[in-house]
Each structure stands twice: as structure tokens, then as C-alpha cells.
Amino acid sequence: MSLREIVTIPNPVLRRKAHPVTKFDDELQVLIADMIETMRVAPGVGLAAPQVGISQRVIVVEYTTNEEDETAPKKLFAVVNPEIKITDEETETGVEGCLSLPGLLGEVDRSLAVIVKGLNRQGKPVRIKAQGWLARIFQHEIDHLEGVVFTDKASKIWKPEADEALVDNV
């Protein structure tokens, strides 16, 4: 495993629709392992392949229900060719940051519940029901696969004060 460089705006790969993955080979396994390590070191709670300069439909997400307890177990997701279905018409505005847009925060309206369908790293089908913060993370990362960044959807964007920098980067 190795760290990959996180690309930032205006890198054009962040604005392109990513290509579907067709081969579940060693190269894909290395990409996923590198993305997980890069996400953790950054630190972030999610990362899409375009954020490391690779135009492929791959995301990784690591989530815990208890952010205050550093020893709380985390659930790791690696999803290839993810598709999202909105399952709750109710939305909520929340603050987001992004590893590819350092130094910015924004208020983004997102659905409260989604179902993510895709393939795991071995090519087997997965279906994930996500609500709340986890649903927001998945929506943010899948947007990256469509060439969309959170500032495209934000109702308000700002540079955070020092105490606001605690927002998780997705």
C-alpha cells in the first residue's frame, strides 16, 4: 500500500464522469488499498478514485456512529461501480468539506436516506442502506464519480475559522 496524491480543483479529472470498472484484477486491489490508506492519512471519511487522479468508478468510505470515541469500531466500505437510489424525499442541510477543495466548507442539502448498489472489491453485488451522515458521505463520494463537487450543490460556501476545521472531509 502507498499514499496517493489527492488532486484538487481545477484538475480536470475531478470534472469528468468516471469510467465503469470492468476488471477486478490486482491493479484494482492496489488502487482500493491505496485509497483506503490515503483517506485515513488525509484524514477523511470518504474518497473517490477521481480524487487520486484515476477516472474509475470506485469509492471508499469509513464510518463510525460515535465520532467522539476514537476507539469505537469503524465500518469500511469499498464500492465499485456504485449507483445510488434516494429512498427518502426528506432532505437536510449539513456542512461538508472535501479533500479536493481544501480550505472550504459549504452547506449542502442531501437526502436523509439512500440505498447504494454496486460491487465489492471481488466483484460481488452489494447493497447498502444508509441514513443520516453515512447517506451524506455516500452521496458526496458518488457525486465525485459524476464530475460534481460539493460546491456545485452548496447553498453557502466559506473559508472556515480555526475552530471550524474540525468538520470531517468527505
What amino acid positions are annotated as catalytic residues? 141
In whole angstroms, how large is the CA radius of gyration of the chain? 15
Q: What angle do CA 151, 155, 158 make, to 5 degrees?
A: 65
Q: How far apart are CA 98 and CA 114, in angstroms?
A: 20
**How far does the chain reach from its first CA to its final CA, in angstroms?**
21
C-alpha to C-alpha distance for 44 and 168, rounded to whole angstroms: 6
Q: Per DSSP, which regions of the chain are E strands? A: 46-48, 58-63, 75-86, 91-96, 105-111, 113-119, 125-131, 154-158
